[in-house]
Structure 1
């Protein structure tokens, strides 16, 4: 009887620990919907490059690992990240480079940087 109880307590403890890890892994911030153009931040910040004429370059840069951003009509810039643990923005937005989209997700602001952890793209 004791080994079963000990095993059950071990399983319950592991599940509680996993639940705590999952809770802390989620970004803390407000849920937002933001509309803007998907850009690769390297070219956008360096030379203002964006739009349909820059689409193939933006895709190449994103595939190479450059961060992806969203630029609104008011020139607000957001860094895009996936909602899954350490998921880069290209995992959710690569096919939308140079397009105007509406993203929904969790906005986190820290040290002057605005990041949206994307949960959906329309």
Structure 2
């Protein structure tokens, strides 16, 4: 598991624009609460297939299982969420699960170390709910993520 988390953090470092290391900066940032593992590993397809309604159920399971959640801005910048208002650590608590895949505006402290952006969410300023209706493009379960021989059973078609 340690290697998996290290890989996810390394991939975040490659995709984030980075912020100067220091004592942190108070910011308000808007973006989608997302599943960092599937988004960054590519296991479920490209990044867009792992956001919004197409990936919501999986994102809930990953968060409940302890996979760190992130916040992805419209510009593609990713923040690893370390703490969340009402939840303490962002470790799959009910507060985290309630906002998974939601578009939120967060107020908090942003930190950067070694090219990785971190966010401590002190207050959720707004929550627009799930606004990214991606299942229309990718389905509820992307077909390429279904094991061979299971498509008919899962999708109800050949």
TM-score after normalising by structure 2: 0.55
Unaligned runs of at least 5 residues, structure 2: 1-22, 127-158
Unaligned runs of at least 5 residues, structure 1: 1-27
2:96 is aligned to: 93
2:120 equivalent to 1:117 = yes
User: CA 1:83–1:71 in 2, change beyond 3 Å: closer, same or farther?
Assistant: closer
Q: Is the 8 A contact 2:24 2:111 kept in 1?
A: yes
More helix as a share of residues: 1
2:62 is aligned to: 61
The CA deviation string for residues 71-108 of structure 1, in whole angstroms up to 9 with x for no partner, is 11100010001168x72254443211111111111001
RMSD, matched Cα: 2.1
Q: What is the deviation of 1:29?
A: 1.0
State the aligned residue count: 95
TM-score after normalising by structure 1: 0.70
In the aligned structure 2, how far is the partner of 1:105 from the partner of 1:93?
16
Structure 1 runs, 4 residues or longer, greater than 6 Å off: none
